[in-house]
Amino acid sequence: MAAPAWFKNLPFLITPPLLWAGNVIVARLVRNDIPPFTLSFGRWVISLLILLPFAWKAMQRDKGLYRKHAKLVIGTALTGVAAFNTLIYTGVHNTTGTNALLLNSCIPVLIMLIGAVFYGQVLNRFQVSGLLLSLCGVLAIILRGSLENLWALRFNSGDLWVFSAVVCWAFYTLWMRHMPAEINRIGLTAAQIMLGLLVLLPLWLWERAGGAQVNWSTDALLGFAYVGVFPSVVAYLCYTAAISRVGAVRAGLSIHLMPVFGTLLAVTLLGEAFHLYHLIGILAIFGGILLSNKKGG
């Protein structure tokens, strides 16, 4: 008996938010060791060195397609590579991991709203219901099972940086949906990284000229290694595949898993407690994602 389509796509939906949740935690851990522009620039240099041997032939073959669809290629490079993580890394210097995860969880809502307003996307009842159910799960985790904790949340300048990143990612997701299928995705990712590095290079040089330096601790080395491989190469390729397979809205909905994985990582790595509201939130989020993948009008 063949596995259902949603089950086959599950690895592509689960892997990115898991690795990106780790990205937020790592960025918080190394924020005093690595300046934000340096972390973003170094991350993509590492990623490009890994991808280039596998991507070069496809990049040469698809050069004409890059030129033909230059607006899409440049737009996704600016939003998904240059802007998103740089803004996240800048933001986590002045906000909490909880706030960063909460704001990242707005991505599915923004994808839905921007898609409806600018691209005429129509959501079916299962997608809307799944979005609302998973959003309730996110709130259960963030608010620790009590609405009273809503008033304890505080937002600051770091949150504005993170929210700007979230808006960029929503556009990146929608634009990637319109990327022609004949463009090789590994080659495209490498090309996007190259373009993003052209933007990040002067920002990195400006940061260095201002006296910002890396504290080459073990945490810094491990931090560079993690962000350069997992949330960059692995997560981006999986997310690109998810958009192609299930669409921008369903792929974006998987971002709601970030606080789930953030919680599990905090319990596993930081020794934090696991509560009933965590379980309720996790079940609601998974239920919402499964519901959104149902076919229906």
Q: What is the per-residue DSSP string for 53-65? A: HHHHHHHHHTHHH
- Alpha helices by DSSP H, listed for 30-124, are 36-61, 63-68, 70-76, 84-91, 97-104, 107-119
Question: Which residue, chain included where needed, has tokens 């080659």?
Answer: 187
* Domain spans in the chain, listed from the N-terminal domain onward: 36-292
Sorted by sequence, the CB contacts under 8 Å of residue 238 that are 6+ apart come out as: 11, 12, 15, 16
**pTM of the shown model:** 0.82
- CB half-sphere exposure, 245, CA atoms < 13 A: 18
Kindly give the confidence (pLDDT) of every residue in the chain, 297 residues in length, as a single tens digit, with 9 standing for 90 and above.
455 565 788 889 899 999 998 998 888 889 899 999 999 999 999 999 999 999 999 999 999 999 999 999 999 999 999 999 999 999 888 877 766 777 777 787 788 778 878 887 777 788 788 878 877 877 787 777 777 777 776 667 788 898 899 899 999 989 998 899 899 999 999 999 999 999 999 999 999 999 989 999 999 999 999 999 999 999 999 999 988 888 877 787 788 788 788 878 777 776 767 778 878 887 887 787 777 767 654
Cα separations in angstroms, 157 against 71, 247, 292: 31, 33, 34
Compute the chain's Rg from CA coordinates: 19
Contact at 8 Å (CB) between 157 and 227?
no
The candidate with the shortest Cα–Cα distance to 112, out of 91, 129, 95, is 129
CA distance 14 to 261: 10
DSSP letter for each residue of 245-285? HH-HHHHHHGGGHHHHHHHHHHHHHH-----HHHHHHHHHH
User: What is the distance between the alpha carbons of residues 66 and 74, in angstroms, rounded to a whole number?
Assistant: 9
